[in-house]
Amino acid sequence: MKTHTIDELQEVAKEVRRDVVKMILKAGAGHPAGSLGMVDVFVALYYAILRNDPKNPEWEDRDRLILSNGHICPARYAVMSHVGYFEHKNLLKLGSFKSILQGHPDKRFLSSLETTSGPLGSGLAQAAGIAYAARMDQKRFRTFVITSDGEHDEGNHWEAVAFVGKNNLSNLTMIVDRNNIQIDGFTEEVMPLEPLIDKYKAFHWAILEVDGHNIKEIVEACNKARAIYENPTVIIARTIPGKGVPFMEGNPNWHSKAPNSDEVREAIKDIRNMKGEIEDY
């Protein structure tokens, strides 16, 4: 895997953010806030963390990535196109009839996905099954799963949390998008999640916290999780929904609303002017 500087990855993240707003504009529907907020995590995963091969997506020893909150798939699709899973031009077919890029990830259309996702709260259970089977088969790949904070309202998520903790699935890493919003408003007003860290500690998870827009921190946390053999690991990534587009940032109204053409032009200008640190990892 080629080593990239943080500056290079931040430039990729800018391109991905531009892709995301264009995709959602063309589709006329989508979830821009969460998608923009998780771009840096997806860039870190696909460029610096996952053991994968876009030319051989079913490589048996690849790391697995499960996306539970499937509505933020525009960010994942855009990054996958940049690393070579499919042609970039497919991005503008998001959600189209028979497109490989459905509005929620669908393995029937895009075989390089590990699972089909959509119903919130189910992703960790899927990942737990994969990680448990890997242990039974003595496979060394790692299973990563991305979940939203809002789907922590789902009871089946906590059943999976308990299962993973009880079985000490240390070959599993979960990344929580802690952006503090969900479709009905702010998480702490809809259904308070805090003290979130204490809850995971009670189920015997190792906990790491990162700035979800600091690619260096994300990479370091995922590498640290690989070295933790005593417990499964949850990485709480604190993100800003709509990151890079000031009129969207932190606003729950953009959870599931497509921007119009004028708003996209403004968003692209804002994304172009984003600044970040330059640092090697």
Q: Helices then strands (H, E): number in the chain?
A: 10, 7
Strand partners, 234: 174, 207
Q: Is 252 helix (H, G, I), strand (E, B) or coil?
A: helix
pLDDT value, residue 95: 95
Determine if the pTM surpasses 0.85.
Answer: yes
- If one counts every other C-beta atom within 10 angstroms of the C-beta of residue 247, the result is 12
Beta strand segments in the chain, E: 64-67, 143-148, 172-178, 181-182, 185-186, 206-211, 233-238
pLDDT value, residue 4: 87
Q: Are 212 and 177 in contact (CB under 8 A)?
A: yes
Q: Name the DSSP class of 195.
A: S
User: b/e for 165-178, b at 16 or more Cβ within 10 A?
Assistant: beeebbbbbbbbbb
Q: How far is residue 70's CA from residue 106's CA, in Å, rounded to a whole number?
A: 9
pLDDT value, residue 16: 98
Q: What is the pLDDT along the chain (281 residues), one digit of tens a residue?
A: 568 899 999 999 999 999 999 999 999 999 999 999 999 999 999 999 999 999 999 999 999 999 999 999 999 999 999 999 999 999 999 999 999 999 999 999 999 999 999 889 999 999 999 999 999 999 999 999 999 999 999 999 999 999 999 999 999 999 999 999 999 999 999 999 999 999 999 999 999 999 999 999 999 999 999 999 999 999 999 999 999 999 999 999 999 999 999 999 999 999 999 875 433 32
Half-sphere exposure of 72 (CA within 13 A, CB side): 35
Q: Span 6-272: which CATH code?
A: 3.40.50.970
Q: From the CA atom positions of the chain, what is the Rg in Å?
A: 18
Q: How far is residue 245's CA from residue 248's CA, in Å, rounded to a whole number?
A: 6
pLDDT value, residue 276: 55
Q: Are 197 and 149 in contact (CB under 8 A)?
A: no
Domain ranges of the chain: 6-272
pLDDT value, residue 201: 98
Q: Are 277 and 270 in contact (CB under 8 A)?
A: no
Q: What is the DSSP string of 53-120?
A: -TTSTT-TTPPEEEESSGGGHHHHHHHHHHHTSS-GGGGGGTT-TT-SS-SS--TTT-TTSSS---ST
